[in-house]
A and B are shown apart, each in its own frame.
Chain A
């Protein structure tokens, strides 16, 4: 059992030679290729990440640009809406004022017409009353007028005048 701790320098030397040879062989035929592939894959991943980051940045820029445009358009629309409302209000006021003016003009015209018609009607009544009075006077003078007949003639004239007054109104 004591041999366990006694190193065999021949085996040790062979181990060193074997191991270093293996390191060299594997470096040449295996690790170089694997490390190369690994680095290539990592570079590819790094490139993809970079591309993705650039694309993301670009997308963010476009989004920011679109947001700004949208905001601008929204502001413009709000401004135009305000302008339209103001124009509408002004037009409304103008139309209302014109309408009011026209209504007042029509009312004044109507009043003038009514006054003219009234004056005309009164003039007509006066003419008829005069003509009736003349007619009554003629009739009275033509007939032998008694107290009673005269009264009845006057009543008749007044009745005719009244009827004529009703017709004019």
Chain B
């Protein structure tokens, strides 16, 4: 197996080929991981919300409240304003879902589902849907359509500006998907490449392979910590950008 194939084997999704009659179900390693992440996230969030009198329960409640306060005061309100508080549950779920998905790849036998363009594309489409929904909710359908034409635009520029603004919105959504996908994919590729260096050098000489293992493992550990940081950072960036895009639509004139 070539190096590129080995990397692709670890990163690419694997279809489990589940069929219902002639209908092919998209049951893959990534979708199963996504289901696992969703279940874990649901359990964690419910544990954070359940009121109790024990110390652990109060501690979890405090963590939950601090998290929601951080999302509200650090992401939603700065990006959208007070109007965005209605979308707070969406952002709370989005951040944790992306974070858990990013971190899942660091657990052995689990997959980084956010290194799959289909998953990040799905999340970006959800955010795109939220942007459109917020725009229509705030300005009405006609107002939302009119918001694609910046104020003061001469009438003869409207046919040019309108498609440009629509494309701009679509690009924003695509960028959300590609940024998350590329960052998570590149991180895992680097991790895998560092591990494969040991085996490639080991094929040439076993002693050289053993010698290469130490620096490669050092770099691997460093990269793993970097991936941890990137996992948080990308979840934050995705959520923040979504809130900014929603804010742009809500406050468009």
- Assess whether B209 is interfacial by the CB under 8 Å rule: no
Q: Which residues of A contact B61 (CB under 8 A)?
A: 34, 37
> Does B34 belong to the interface (CB within 8 Å)?
yes
B31 cross-chain contacts in A, Cβ below 8 A: 11, 14-15, 18
Residue pair B24, A31 in contact (C-beta under 8 Å): no
Apart from A14-B122, A29-B46: 13 A-B pairs, beta carbons within 8 A? A1-B12, A4-B117, A7-B117, A10-B25, A11-B31, A11-B116, A12-B118, A19-B97, A19-B123, A26-B45, A31-B49, A37-B51, A38-B65
Contact B126 A22 (CB under 8 A): no
A6 to B12, CA, bound (A): 11
Whether, in the assembled complex, A108 has its beta carbon less than 8 Å from a beta carbon of chain B, the answer is no
The answer for the CA separation of A14 and B18 in the assembled complex, in Å, is 14
Residue B42 CB within 8 A of the other chain: yes
> What DSSP secondary structure best describes chain A's contact surface?
helix
Chain B positions 163 through 177: 1 when the CB is less than 8 Å from some CB of chain A, otherwise 0: 000000000000000
Instruction: Out of A4, A16, A25, name the residue touching B12 (CB < 8 Å).
Output: A4
Chain A: interface residue count, which band?
20 to 34
Q: Assess whether A31 is in contact with B93, with CB atoms less than 8 Å apart.
A: yes
Whether a CB of chain A sits under 8 angstroms from the CB of B69 is: yes
- CB-defined contacts of A10 to chain B, threshold 8 Å: 24-26
Q: Contact between B92 and A26 (Cβ–Cβ < 8 Å)?
A: yes
Among B28, B45, B123, the residue within 8 A (CB) of A29 is B45
B13 and A8 contacting across the interface, CB-CB below 8 Å:
yes
Q: Are B34 and A15 in contact (CB under 8 A)?
A: yes
The 8 Å CB contact of A15, one of B12, B94, B123, is B123
Q: Which of A3, A7, A30, A35 contacts B46 (CB 8 A)?
A: A30
B207 at the A interface (CB under 8 A): no
Which single residue of chain B is at the shortest CB-CB distance from A6? Answer: B117
* Best-buried of B13, B28, B34, B122 by chain A (most CB within 10 Å): B122
- List the B side residues contacting A13 at CB < 8 Å: 26, 122
CB distance from B32 to the nearest CB of A (A): 10
Contact (A35, B122) CB under 8 Å given A10-B24, A13-B26, A27-B89: no
Number of chain B residues whose Cβ lies closer than 8 Å to a Cβ of chain A: 46
CB-contacts of B1-49 with A (<8 A): 4, 7-8, 11-13, 24-26, 28, 30-31, 34-35, 38, 41-42, 45-46, 48-49
Residue interface bits B121-145, CB-to-A below 8 A is 1, else 0: 1110110000000000000000000
In Å, the complex CA distance between A23 and B122 comes to 14
Question: Given the interface contacts A7-B121, A8-B13, does A29 sit within 8 Å of B49 by beta carbon?
Answer: yes
Q: Are the CB atoms of A23 and B90 closer together than 8 Å?
A: yes
- Tell me whether B117 and A16 are in contact (CB under 8 A): no
A26-B45, A26-B89, A34-B48 known; A12-B125 Cβ under 8 A: yes
User: Which residues of chain A are within 8 angstroms of B4 by Cβ–Cβ distance?
Assistant: 1
Say yes or no: A9 contacts B118, CB within 8 Å.
yes
CB neighbours of A16 from chain B (8 A): 122, 125-126
Residues on B with C-beta less than 8 A from A35 are 68, 88-89
A120 at interface, CB cutoff 8 A: no
Q: Could you tell me the distance between the alpha carbons of A37 and B63 in the complex, rounded to whole angstroms?
A: 12
Q: Does A19 contact B122, Cβ atoms closer than 8 Å?
A: yes
A34–B34 Cα gap in the complex (Å)?
A: 24
**A41 contacts chain B at the CB level, 8 A cutoff:** yes
Contact of A23 (CB < 8 Å), options: B11, B69, B93 = B93
Q: At the interface, yes or no: B185 with Cβ under 8 Å from chain A?
A: yes
